[in-house]
Amino acid sequence: MAASTLTEVARLAGVSPATASRVLNGSARKPGPDIAERVRQAAESLGYVPNAQAQGLAKSSSGLIGLIVHDIADPYFSAIARGVQEAAREQRKMVLLATTGGGPAEEKEAVAAFAARRADSIVIAGSRSRRPGDTEGNAELAAELDRYCRNGGRVAVVGHPVVGATAPEGYHVVQVPNQELAGQLATELAKDWDGKFVIIGGPEGLFTSDDRIRGFQEGLERAGRQPAEVLRNSFNRTGGFEAGLQLAARIKAEQSEGGEHTKLCIFAVNDVMAIGAAAALRAEGLRIPRDAAIAGFDDIETLRDFRPALSTVRLPLEEIGRIATRATGRPGGHSADQDKDHDQELEPAGTIRGEVTLRRSTEVAA
């Protein structure tokens, strides 16, 4: 009932297992064409499927890439996942998926599980955190990662390095210029908006969120503006929605006060939160950009048809996934020519370029 084995194929073909192996899987020496054909036919007729586990055991390489995300249903992560998939396919590897919900403890579990499966490399896509409650988890995660690397595993982290990770080799960080881009966004917005800025951020300690907040504040400062107030909330639509409700109340109060007031410009640290905030404003009867402007970050594809079109910062999510994955590929894995010029190896895993994208949601037109 179990799948047929190489030995069975070999027996049917009247050759040794070794020979069969050489025929069916890549090997330096190629057996005689007549023999090869017989083996192939035997394999075919038995419906032979090589046992990757056994192959992996013997070669100590599994052909697996581990991907860690907070939530695969979040479009931010699923876009990255698509890039990882592509790159994995290039490397003829398969993707193992782990969803962690963002906790370092669960991420550590995932790394351990990947290590157990002897994944050739691991891509960590979720934002790092330095919240107080996470310090222990971070330490454990770092330790687990270090061990994994020491055992020959490759790791790529999107965004920030894992706190405390001191991995010697095989540890790559794909830098995402969150801070810089948020700064540019602020600068651009400051050109058109005289009023106050408010930031809807994630919980304090989430690097991605903090970087974007910091960058935005810096941008405001460069433009000679007051720092923006920061509302903190969960890093998802609900968080944005709740913050949006608060702001809506405030805006309506100001409006009913009469008198002159300048419109608020809201920066949510990611698109999903921005959409949540926009929904809240709308629910409260406010309109964008008439009563307030709003901008996000990421430029999530599925959200591009949202109206008013959301000003945001475009991030090449799919490419980020690809680059991270490629960074973990063993050099000379499959490419024909191998640069002897190792300089490139020393550079960061890849430079990500984003782009400020102003759209309707921050237009000044009444």
Partner DNA sequence: CTGTTAGCGCCTTCAA
Partner DNA sequence: TTGAAGGCGCTAACAG
Examine residue 348 and say whether the peptide bond preceding it is cis (omega within 30 degrees of 0): no
From residue 91 to residue 130, what is the string marking binding to a second copy with x (rule CB under 8 A)?
Answer: ---xxxxxx------------xx-xxxx------------
Q: Which stretch binds a second copy (CB under 8 A): 9-17, 29-37, 150-158, 180-188?
A: 150-158
Q: Please state, as a whole number, how many other Cβ atoms lie within 10 Å of the Cβ of residue 355.
A: 12
Options 90, 303, 357, 360; binder of a second copy; rule CB under 8 A: 303
Helices (H), the chain: 6-13, 17-24, 33-46, 52-59, 75-90, 104-116, 135-150, 178-192, 207-222, 237-257, 271-283, 317-327, 343-346
d(CA 179, CA 219): 9
Is 256 one of the binding residues for DNA (CB under 7 A)?
A: no
Residue 270, both tokens: 């990611």
Q: Which stretch binds DNA (CB under 7 A): 16-24, 80-88, 197-205, 213-221?
A: 16-24
Angle between helices 17-24 and 6-13 (to 10 degrees): 100
Footprint of DNA on 113-142 (CB under 7 A):
none
Residues 6+ apart with CB under 8 A from 346: none
Is 41 one of the binding residues for DNA (CB under 7 A)?
A: no
Contact partner, 249, from DNA, a second copy, none, Cβ < 5-8 Å per class:
none
Options 11, 40, 55, 177; binder of DNA; rule CB under 7 A: 55
Options 41, 44, 54, 249; binder of DNA; rule CB under 7 A: 54
Is 6 one of the binding residues for a second copy (CB under 8 A)?
A: no
Edge-to-edge strand order for the sheet containing 197-201? 229-232, 197-201, 264-268, 292-295
Return the number of the residue (25 or 226) whose C-beta is nearest DNA. Answer: 25
Footprint of a second copy on 41-70 (CB under 8 A):
47, 49-54, 56-57, 60, 62, 67
Is 71 one of the binding residues for a second copy (CB under 8 A)?
A: yes
Contact partner, 29, from a second copy, DNA, none, Cβ < 5-8 Å per class:
DNA
Options 40, 41, 57, 84; binder of DNA; rule CB under 7 A: 57
d(CA 167, CA 164): 9
d(CA 225, CA 222): 7
d(CA 10, CA 44): 12
Contact partner, 27, from a second copy, DNA, none, Cβ < 5-8 Å per class:
DNA
Contact partner, 17, from a second copy, DNA, none, Cβ < 5-8 Å per class:
DNA
Q: For residue 71, give the nearest of 314, 194, 236, 276 by alpha carbon.
A: 236
Query: Are the C-beta atoms of 140 and 107 separated by less than 8 Å?
Result: no
CB of 28 to a second copy, least distance (A): 22
Return the number of the residue (152 or 331) whose C-beta is nearest a second copy. Answer: 152
- What residues line the site for DNA (CB under 7 A)? 2-3, 5-7, 14-19, 21-22, 24-25, 27, 29-32, 34-36, 48, 50-51, 54-55, 57-60
